[in-house]
Chain A
Amino acid sequence: KNEVEQSPQNLTAQEGEFITINCSYSVGISALHWLQQHPGGGIVSLFMLSSGKKKHGRLIATINIQEKHSSLHITASHPRDSAVYICGADGLTFGKGTHLIIQP
């Protein structure tokens, strides 16, 4: 069974700061998923990656297959980025999420 760990569990930052959320997993996977969950519960898929790096707007996701580690970065953070960010191994086993608050 894959064990997925995220850090930090909670993160509060000021608007404009560079944000990094980390995810590690214990067993090799086909793809690592990053999700965003807003208050109210709705979940949106941000990235699915199996190697290297992907970028979408101010969001960047990287993965190191050998290290079994992925990071999600947010550049020029904004209060609307406040949400819970969740990583998942193959979309089947997920971490507990990182609760991000961006203060104006």
Chain B
Amino acid sequence: DGGITQSPKYLFRKEGQNVTLSCEQNLNHDAMYWYRQDPGQGLRLIYYSQIVNDFQKGDIAEGYSVSREKKESFPLTVTSAQKNPTAFYLCASSIGAYNEQFFGPGTRLTVL
């Protein structure tokens, strides 16, 4: 079954700790995206990658980092520099830039 997976579904961390969210796809898609969703804010782009070993900042990249060492994987690290990290994080992929996106189930991060 082809798809996009995110793990874990729920994640709790203490303030000041870095945390890495996993995103994996087996759709052979070149492009991958990370979004953050807060109540009333809609989806906001954190980072996106159009090809392996390349990625671009989105609108709210401060306090986040990514890597794209493999086509299938696009992990997101929420660093201690992110002022308000508690949110719902969604990963997506598409065959190429600006194409139809397929979304993972999301990870709900709570920083205590």
Inter-subunit contact A33/B101 (CB<8 Å)? yes
Query: Taking the complex as formed, is A48 at the interface, i.e. its CB lies under 8 A from any CB of chain B?
Result: yes
Query: Taking the complex as formed, is A28 at the interface, i.e. its CB lies under 8 A from any CB of chain B?
Result: no
A91 contacts across to B, CB distance below 8 A: 33, 92, 94, 98-99, 101
Given A30-B98, A48-B100, A91-B33, A41–B45 Cβ distance below 8 Å? no
By size class, the interface of chain A is 20 to 34
Could you tell me the distance between the alpha carbons of A90 and B40 in the complex, rounded to whole angstroms?
21
Inter-subunit contact A95/B42 (CB<8 Å)? yes
Q: Considering only CB atoms, which chain A residue lies closest to B40 in the complex?
A: A96
Inter-subunit contact A94/B100 (CB<8 Å)? no
Could you tell me the distance between the alpha carbons of A65 and B33 in the complex, rounded to whole angstroms?
25
B98 contacts across to A, CB distance below 8 A: 30-31, 90-91
Inter-subunit contact B103/A93 (CB<8 Å)? no
Inter-subunit contact B102/A1 (CB<8 Å)? no
Query: Taking the complex as formed, is B55 at the interface, i.e. its CB lies under 8 A from any CB of chain A?
Result: no
Could you tell me the distance between the alpha carbons of A43 and B48 in the complex, rounded to whole angstroms?
18
Could you tell me the distance between the alpha carbons of A91 and B88 in the complex, rounded to whole angstroms?
18
Inter-subunit contact B43/A41 (CB<8 Å)? no
Query: Taking the complex as formed, is B58 at the interface, i.e. its CB lies under 8 A from any CB of chain A?
Result: yes
Query: Taking the complex as formed, is B105 at the interface, i.e. its CB lies under 8 A from any CB of chain A?
Result: yes
Inter-subunit contact A86/B43 (CB<8 Å)? yes
From residue B71, how far is it (CB to closest CB) to chain A in Å? Answer: 18
Inter-subunit contact B45/A92 (CB<8 Å)? yes
Could you tell me the distance between the alpha carbons of A31 and B97 in the complex, rounded to whole angstroms?
10
Query: Taking the complex as formed, is B106 at the interface, i.e. its CB lies under 8 A from any CB of chain A?
Result: yes
A30 contacts across to B, CB distance below 8 A: 98
Give residues in B with beta carbon < 8 Å to A: 33, 35, 37, 40-45, 48, 58-59, 88, 90, 92, 94, 98-103, 105-106, 108
